[in-house]
Amino acid sequence: MSFNHLYHEHGLALTRRHFFQAGGNALGAAALASLGTGVLAADNLGGKPFNQFAPKAKNVIYLHMVGGPAQMDLFDYKPMMEQWYDKDLPDSIRKGQRLTTMTSGQARFPIAPSKFKFSQHGRAGMWFSELLPWKARMADDLCFIRSMNTEAINHEPAITYMQTGNQVTGRPCLGAWVSYGLGSLNRNLPTFVVMVANPTNTEQVQAISARLWQAGYLPGEHAAVPFRSRGDSILYLNNPPGVSSAIRRRTLDGIKQLNEITSQSVGDPETLTRIQQYEMAFRMQTSVPELTDMATEPVTTFKLYGEAAKKPGSFANSVLQARRLVERGVRFVQIYHNNWDTHANAAGRLPDQCRDVDQACFGLVQDLKQRGLLDSTLIIWGGEFGRTIYSQGGLSKQNYGRDHHPRCFTMWMAGGGCKPGAIYGETDDFSYNIVKDPVHIRDFHATILKLMGFDHERFTVRYQGLDQKLTGVETARVIPELLA
């Protein structure tokens, strides 16, 4: 038996720990496991069966609006509030619930009705604020949840909760779970990509951090790879100045030859893996420039997404990039768009915020639909919490501020097997408490996993002696009304 043959088998097993799957098979962990490489399945998935249903969605594009969009200024229409202008929020509504220390000291909680006009669209009659004309046009493509809720009242824990299922940092995020469970669809690109879009208005940009796209207790390669709008699109992707691709290829061949000698003499399977990783690095170097080159997009693309899509780093540019990534087999794309934290000047800032995302989202959904990718791509839009109906700071008919509000907020999804044109959940007249069909973050996560083909109860990984799951220890439920 030749040495190398033996090692190759171990090498294959070892590559489960790596960013891309081994060899010429563009296979994810799930696919490999289903081929009966038992070691792999057991190791990857804690010995549990998984991918229990045929997945509806193969890919996810998650658009996170950092800061918490004001649901009553965008989706959750509350006409009765007109009569409540500058009146105090009734105690019967607030129910002594905790507030952030930014407004808990306020003497009054005066109601600030939305200054924006609303109209109904689509077969289900969803309400849209005048700030979202493009979204209104595709009401029948979207699936709305008006009854999202969380316990977190501040950004850091709230975003962490939304992304990882726990307020305390350290758990894997949704994208990492999906990468871990489903693996890669391509040989040249990462499985999970994150982009941080630049908002046009930067009045109250909130902090985010690399911990939001981390792998937690999952193997490190399931963390997202940032795609950047400044410098190298992937960190260190470009060769040093004066080193062409051909020259780099020559040196990689040199490295390979010497590493093969090491492999022969030492016999460590890890050396073979390293050889493969260097080859993959080179493939990435050659495929990414093509991917990020927007020049190949026709004029119609920019008509669809808006002119802003030409500007590197803009939200529109990022979602267009997301489509290109998904087309090329990237499993999960996470985009952050900032500056939704409207403690003050809500009326002045929301138009800027909506202008950044409205047409771009329309473009993305329609583009995927035209390309036949919408059915297999789940788009998620939303923030980490909602905002208060009462004004923070000064109130006028024309302007107001709104504090964080965890008890209800609106999110929407599109494609990927979710129900188009659906509206789920209802809030009270103050958009303060949920009166029907609450959806907690963990229910939301359970539903997303279901769309990806996972039973959230059984999609677990063993860590610190426990079968950890995205939805945590409390009961979570899949919301059947959100499924197509």
- Report the site for other proteins in 388-407 (rule: CB under 8 A): 393-396, 398-399, 401, 403-404
Q: Which stretch binds other proteins (CB under 8 A): 254-262, 292-300, 433-441, 445-453?
A: 254-262
Which one, of 384, 318, 324, lies nearest residue 357 by Cα?
318
Site for other proteins in 317-336 (CB under 8 A): none
**Which of these segments, 21-29, 120-128, 341-349, 371-379, binds other proteins (CB under 8 A)?**
341-349
6 is a site residue for other proteins (CB under 8 A) = yes
Stretch that binds other proteins, among 128-136, 178-186, 246-254, 439-447 (CB under 8 A): 246-254
Interface residue with other proteins among 236, 286, 370, 477 (CB under 8 A) is: 236
Q: Is 235 in the site for other proteins (CB under 8 A)?
A: yes
Among 37, 154, 200, 287, binds other proteins (CB under 8 A): 154
User: Contact with other proteins (CB under 8 A): which of 29, 89, 153, 174?
Assistant: 153
Tally DSSP H helices, then E strands, for the chain: 14, 17
Nearest to 340 by CA among 331, 330, 352, 328: 352
- Of the candidates 469, 414, 471, which has an alpha carbon nearest to the alpha carbon of residue 138? 414
Q: Is there a contact between 76 and 70 (Cβ–Cβ < 8 Å)?
A: no
Q: Is 125 in the site for other proteins (CB under 8 A)?
A: no
Closest to 205 in 3D by CA, of 192, 217, 196 = 196
Cβ closest to other proteins, residue 147 vs residue 318: 318
> Tokens 């911990």 appear where?
211
Burial class (CB in 10 A: 0-12, 13-18, 19+), 5: exposed
Q: How far is the CB of 467 from other proteins (least distance, A)?
A: 8
53 lies in the site for other proteins, by CB under 8 A? no
Among residues 355, 324, 350, the alpha carbon closest in space to that of 339 is found at 350
The window from 57-65, 137-145, 293-301, 387-395 that contacts other proteins (CB under 8 A) reads: 387-395
In whole angstroms, give the CA distance from residue 8 to residue 91. Answer: 69
Q: Which residue's entry shows tokens 């990534």?
A: 325
38 or 231: CB nearest other proteins: 231
Backbone angles phi, psi at 12, to 5 degrees: -60, -45
- Minimum separation from the CB atom of position 174 to other proteins (A): 18
Of 16 and 324, which CB lies nearer to other proteins in the complex structure?
16
3-state SS, residue 246: helix
Say if residues 320 and 334 touch (Cβ distance below 8 Å): no
**Residue 193-232 contact track with other proteins, rule CB under 8 A, x = bound:** ---x----xxxxxxxxxxx--x----xxx---xx-xxxxx
The torsion angles phi and psi of 90, rounded to 5 degrees, stand at -65, 145
Output the smallest distance, CB 215 to other proteins, in A: 9
